[in-house]
Chains A and B, each alone.
Chain A
Amino acid sequence: MKRRFIFHPCGNYHEKYEPQLNVYETDYGRLWTAVGIVMLFTMVPLTSSQYILYVVNSIGIAAIAAVGLNILIGYTGQISLGHGAFFGVGAYGAAYLATRWEIPFMLSVPAAGLIAALTGLIFGLPSSRLKGLYLTIATLAGQFIIEYVLIHWESVTQGTMGITLPTAKLLGLEITGDVRFFYVIFTLLILMLWMAVNLMRTKYGRAFVAIRDNDRAAEGMGISIFPYKLLAFAISSFYAGVAGAVWAYYTLSITTEPFNLGLSVEYIAMVIIGGMGSMSGAVFGAVFITGLNEILRWGTDLMMNMGLVSQLGLNMAPLREFVFGLAIVLFILFEPRGIAEVWRIVRSSFRLWPFSY
């Protein structure tokens, strides 16, 4: 059959299940995505300054981790409070493999992801066989235990000294500087997004959603909950690990400090604010939170320069914490489906004009 260019139908005309599984409802979506990717890869590195590029790269790394957390929170209905620690495990895994065994970038990043996933399994194993939110509590424990291990397992992590990584090499090309990293990070992000979107269309993804919506009914339909919950948790930790590994190569020198509970809460904020159960939502959330971080830093610097507040009077960390908390609370109360839903409403009101509601 000849393939036709599909436009928006004025109703739901699905006669089979297959069209409902499509990622894109129309070919317009496919086209826009392609255009967007081309624009992203050509325009951004050429036009932006080094600082902007650094922020964009941070967004890309955060988005990889947030997509992973969204698989767990948004699609499987389990909360992880240890995502920041698994990010750290990935970073240290990559650093260890790269410095001790001189494993190349191409292999050490997925290997770091696998290490993070295995670490996740250790904490997920006892908790996810129980109903309810025991996984949340176990990941809280995981957060603290991993932080402790990272600081005190000195033969591997070199404790508070930190590890300095070698320059990443990909296909004989040295990846240095923000522009090259931009291409690596965003290629990886698109790959991971593509994997996540397609995972949700498989048997496994549908099982995750079934568990989220009603675990008893899912069990009744023959989905064994325990392995699927564990699988979702391992996949989300894998994403965190990969993001952490890339981050380690990007910053070149890592210490144990950033991987605390605050980072985990930041990722949760990304998922909630972006939109639970939406892949684009995780990216929106990463943009929002990273952008908010930079705006707050910029704002406090500006206020200090203008002499409105003294150096001691305004510390950035508490303000940031307050604003993040407030953003989480406001989004849960007023738009629980996050920015992705706002975006959908805006888009559909354009499409349905002049009959939008």
Chain B
Amino acid sequence: MDFFIQLLVNGLSVGFLYGISAMGFVMIFKSSSVLNFAHGELLAIGAYIFLVLVTWAQLPVYAAFLLTMLACFSLGFIIERLFLRPLIGEPLIFVIMLTVGLAAMFKGLILLIWGGNLHTFPDFLPEWLTFSWGAVTVQPVYSLALVVGLSFLALFGIFFKFSSQGIYMRSVADNQRAALSLGVNVKNVFALSWAIAALVAGLSGIILGIINGVNVHDLSAIGLKVFPVVILGGLDSIGGAIVGGLIIGLLETLTGGYISPSLRDVVPYIVLVVILMLKPYGLFGQVEIERV
């Protein structure tokens, strides 16, 4: 029973991290219906920038954190300006292939600069973030993750529902040409959504880095594990990303604990295929009536 509870706690915490990592991905999908295959590399870039600022430049943690966020936000803008703006109005397939190319490019670049070894952050989280209820103790990282995850969930919910930019984003995702002809500034929408997504990705990259250490192979694998998570949760639902992440995380640790450790990394993809078969729009995704 103890083993089960331990697996449960592990699974939920891993799953919550998947959920947070998936939020940036959903952000891009919701604003331009682009599947971003470079998401894992965005996670890794955030983590590595933070690593450099903390260990090499020896900046205080708060300054390093703010600078990383700023760098990720501008990186999103730069990616949009250099790579995505020329493709506005082109078929979606080009944009998606472009993200496949970007993923290979960024991964190669990171490996060339930092190599494939595992790096770790120094321990910097304050003690007061530790919570304990009876036997269960929540590590400071996880409470940080919880705060970040829930606040972004609320922020994104409000943003897409009420702000004009959020509504523009949904319109672009629905039909780019129609949005263009109705006067939506698609360039701004792309720029802003990539910048926000890169920022969220950087943030989740840092959190993942605190827990697992920073390694580009692991982080880009998580970037691909985002796909089962969002298919389960529903491609365009931010809350669904969190729920999907929790379920996938639980399934992973339970199969890892009870069936076979090697099956652990494949289970999410099996779930993906099953979900596509049974409930293709996921748990919370918007069902498109048109089926072509």
Contacting pair B94 A336 (CB below 8 A): yes
Complex alpha-carbon distance, A125 and B273, angstroms: 10
Cβ-based interface call for A102 (8 A): no
Residues of A within 8 A of B103 (CB): 325
Which of B5-13, B49-57, B264-272 faces chain A? B264-272
Given A138-B276, A317-B111, A322-B109, residue A269 in contact with residue B101 (CB < 8 A): yes
Stretch in A18-26, A110-118, A126-134, A247-255 touching the partner:
A126-134
Q: Which of A127, A131, A225, A318 contacts B111 (CB 8 A)?
A: A318
> For B227, what are the chain A residues with a Cβ–Cβ distance below 8 Å?
137, 140-141
| Number of cross-chain contacts by CB at 8 Å | 140
Among A77, A318, A322, A324, residue most surrounded by chain B Cβ atoms (within 10 Å): A318
Q: How far is the CB of B275 from chain A (nearest CB, A)?
A: 9
- Give B2-40 as 1s and 0s: 1 = Cβ < 8 Å from A's Cβ atoms: 000000000000000000000000000000010100000
The one of B33, B87, B266, B291 in contact with A332, judged by C-beta atoms closer than 8 angstroms, is B87
**Is B111 touching A145 in the complex (CB atoms < 8 A)?**
no
Residues B111 and A134 in contact, CB atoms below 8 Å apart: no
Interchain CA distance A326-B101 in the complex, whole Å:
7
How large, as a class, is the contact surface on chain A? 35 or more
**B105-138 contacts to A (CB < 8 Å):** 105-109, 111-112, 116
| B94 with A332: CB separation less than 8 A | yes
Give the shortest distance, in Å, between B239 (CB) and chain A (any CB). Answer: 20
Measured between beta carbons, the chain A residues less than 8 angstroms from B106 are 325
Interface membership of A136, Cβ < 8 A: yes
CB within 8 Å of B: which A321-357 residues: 321-329, 332-333, 336
Report chain B residues within 8 Å CB of A132: 33
B266 near A145 with CB under 8 A, answer yes
**Interface: B98 (CB within 8 A):** yes
- B224 contacts chain A at the CB level, 8 A cutoff: yes
Given contacts A134-B280, A137-B35, contact A328 B112 (CB under 8 A): no
Q: Say yes or no: A131 contacts B288, CB within 8 Å.
A: yes
Please determine whether B102 and A329 come into contact, CB atoms closer than 8 angstroms.
Answer: yes
Residues A138 and B108 in contact, CB atoms below 8 Å apart? no
Contact call A318/B108, Cβ cutoff below 8 A: yes
Contact among B94, B97, B263, B265 with A268 in the assembled complex (CB-CB below 8 Å): B97
- Return the CB mask of B221-237 against A: 1 if under 8 Å, else 0: 00010011001000000
Residues of B within 8 A of A (CB-CB), count: 45
Q: How far is the CA of A127 from the CA of B270 in the complex (A)?
A: 13
Q: Which of B94, B104, B290 contacts A265 (CB 8 A)?
A: B104
Q: Please indicate the chain A residues that have their CB under 8 angstroms from the CB of B269 in the complex.
A: 140-142, 144-145
Point out the residues of chain B lying under 8 angstroms from A127, CB to CB: 276, 280
B277 contact set on A, CB distance < 8 A:
125-126
**By the criterion CB–CB under 8 Å, are B104 and A141 in contact?**
no
A27 within 8 A of partner (CB): no
Does A320 have its Cβ within 8 Å of any Cβ on chain B? Answer: yes
Contact present for A136 and B273 (CB under 8 Å): no
- Chain A residues whose CB sits within 8 angstroms of the CB of B94 once the complex forms: 332, 336
Q: Chain B nearest CB: distance from A321 CB in Å?
A: 4
B contact residues around A77 at 8 Å (CB): 91, 93
With an 8 A cutoff between CB atoms, is B86 at the interface? yes
Interface residues of A: mostly helix, strand, loop or mixed? helix
Let me know if B262 is at the binding interface, CB within 8 A.
Answer: yes
CB distance from A104 to the nearest CB of B (A): 35
The proximity string for A residues 266-288 relative to B, scoring 1 for CB distances below 8 Å and 0 otherwise, is: 00110010000000000000000
Nearest CB in chain B: distance from A270 CB, A:
12
* B96 located at the interface, meaning its Cβ lies under 8 Å from any Cβ of chain A in the complex: yes
Structural contact, A328 and B101, CB atoms closer than 8 A: yes
Is B280's CB under 8 angstroms from A321's CB? no
Residue of B nearest to A131 (CB): B292
Which one of B109, B270, B288, B292 lies within 8 Å of A145 (CB-CB)?
A: B270
Is the beta-carbon distance between B96 and A136 smaller than 8 angstroms?
A: yes
Closest Cβ–Cβ distance, residue A13 to chain B (whole Å): 32
CA distance A63 to B34 in the complex (A): 29
The answer on a CB contact under 8 Å between B273 and A145 is yes
Contact with B along A72-115 (1 / 0, CB 8 A): 01000101010000000000000000000000000000000000
Q: Are B273 and A126 in contact (CB under 8 A)?
A: yes
Kindly name the residue among B108, B227, B270 whose own CB sees the greatest number of chain A CB atoms within 10 A: B108
Interchain CB contact under 8 A, A215 and B292:
yes
CB-CB under 8 A for A323 and B266, given A133-B92, A136-B96: no
The 9 closest A-B pairs by CB, nearest first: A322-B108, A325-B105, A328-B101, A325-B104, A318-B111, A321-B108, A141-B269, A126-B277, A126-B276
Instruction: Give the interface of A toward B (CB within 8 A).
Output: 73, 77, 79, 81, 123, 125-127, 129-134, 136-138, 140-142, 144-145, 148, 151-152, 215-216, 219, 225, 261, 265, 268-269, 272, 315, 317-329, 332-333, 336
A-B contact pairs, 27 of them (CB 8 A): A79-B96, A129-B280, A130-B276, A134-B280, A137-B227, A138-B273, A138-B276, A140-B224, A141-B227, A141-B272, A144-B265, A145-B270, A148-B262, A152-B262, A317-B111, A318-B116, A321-B104, A321-B107, A322-B109, A323-B108, A325-B103, A325-B106, A325-B107, A326-B105, A328-B100, A329-B102, A332-B98
Contacts from B to A (Cβ < 8 Å): 33, 35, 83, 86-87, 90-94, 96-98, 100-109, 111-112, 116, 224, 227-228, 231, 262-263, 265-266, 269-270, 272-273, 276-277, 280, 288, 290-292
Having A324-B105, A327-B101, one finds 14 other A-B pairs with CB under 8 Å, namely A77-B91, A131-B292, A133-B35, A133-B93, A137-B276, A140-B227, A141-B270, A144-B266, A145-B270, A322-B109, A322-B111, A325-B103, A325-B105, A332-B97
